[in-house]
Every structure is written in structure tokens, then in C-alpha cells.
Structure 1
């Protein structure tokens, strides 16, 4: 399938995005932020997602937000678009003063 990354390419992309981890065919990262701040951050992320046409699965809890990214149109496989979105989420999270909850 065109655009799907190999395991080696995924490892290279992850090395450039500290804090993101691979879980099967998804990359994930969580940020500590209180509920209302998390809502604001999610709205910011959703606006960017709409513009670029690529979306994360988002799990909002009272004290953190978890993002899971895969390319649904590529059969739930990882592509460059996933890592581009992850980098954008990192910048947005920093702007909202969300604290990375790296494993």
C-alpha cells in the first residue's frame, strides 16, 4: 500500500519525536492538563486536523488527554501524515502548557 511506512522508517520517525510510542499500528502520547484546558487544546488540535485532513483518536480525562494516531485510509497503518500530525500536536500541547506524560 502506497505511503505505508516500514518498521525501520517508523523507528526513524519515532526517534525524531521523543515521547511518542508505537502501539501496534498506532502512535500515542499523553499530556497532563486539567479538563477545561484539555478541551481547549483539543479544539485547537481539531482545527488543525480539519485544515490538514488528518485526524487523531482523542481520549479526554479529567487530568490528561491521550492522542492515538494512525492512517485509517491506509488500513489503520502508519504513514508520514501520522508523524506530521504528532509533531503538530506537540507544538499545540506546548502552547497550552500541557505536560508530557512520557512512559
Structure 2
């Protein structure tokens, strides 16, 4: 993969998805949900947001009672998938594990 913000080809997206097990493609974004108690979810989101600020890339985040959903796409690349999205997905997985969040479907 070349530039972090260059849209990926379908082949590159398929290969990148293998590197982030549990993440699903939903159109031009990748998504994943975690089960976590509400206040733990808030703490996890703050941790993710701090990392996002440092790397200059962010996810769309949906916090519900007992569940946090992340959706990632590159807004400044026309809402297409880039290497930056998959890098952020890997970072979110590490943060979620540190907060003892459980991956869930849906």
C-alpha cells in the first residue's frame, strides 16, 4: 500500500481485511462492535479519540448501553477505504483489548 490516504483497490482491501479479523466491510467503510459496560465504553472512546488525534484520523463512533460501534472510512479521500483506515482498526483492537471489551457481531 502506498500513501496512507490513497484509496485502495478491491484487491488491497481484501488483503487488508485479512489483517484485521473481526472487522467487516460495509460499503466504503469497515465496522466493528464491542460489548462493554457503558462507562467502560466511554473510557475506551476517550482512549481511542486520543490516539485518533495523534494520528490525524478518526472513526465514526456509536455508543449504546453495553455496546460501542466503530465505522471507519477516509473522509478526505472521498469516503473511500485507505491504508489509514486499517491502521486505525488495528489500533482500536489493541485499545479495546486493554479495556476488556468483547468483540460482538452486529
Match of 2:75 in 1: 72
* TM-score, normalization by structure 2: 0.94
SS in 1 for 2:86: helix
CA positional deviation for 1:84? 0.2
Unmatched segments (≥5 aa) in structure 1: none
Unmatched segments (≥5 aa) in structure 2: none
* TM-score, normalization by structure 1: 0.96
RMSD, matched Cα: 1.0
Aligned length: 102
CA positional deviation for 1:35? 0.5
Match of 2:85 in 1: 82
User: Structure 2 CA distance, aligned partners of 1:101 and 1:13?
Assistant: 20
String of CA shifts for 1:68-92, please: whole Å, max 9, x gaps.
0000000000000000000000000
Which ranges of 4 or more aligned residues in structure 1 deviate by more than 2 Å? none
Match of 1:95 in 2: 98
SS in 2 for 1:77: coil
Residue 31 of structure 2: which of 28, 31, 38 is its match? 28
Q: Are 1:39 and 2:48 an aligned pair?
A: no
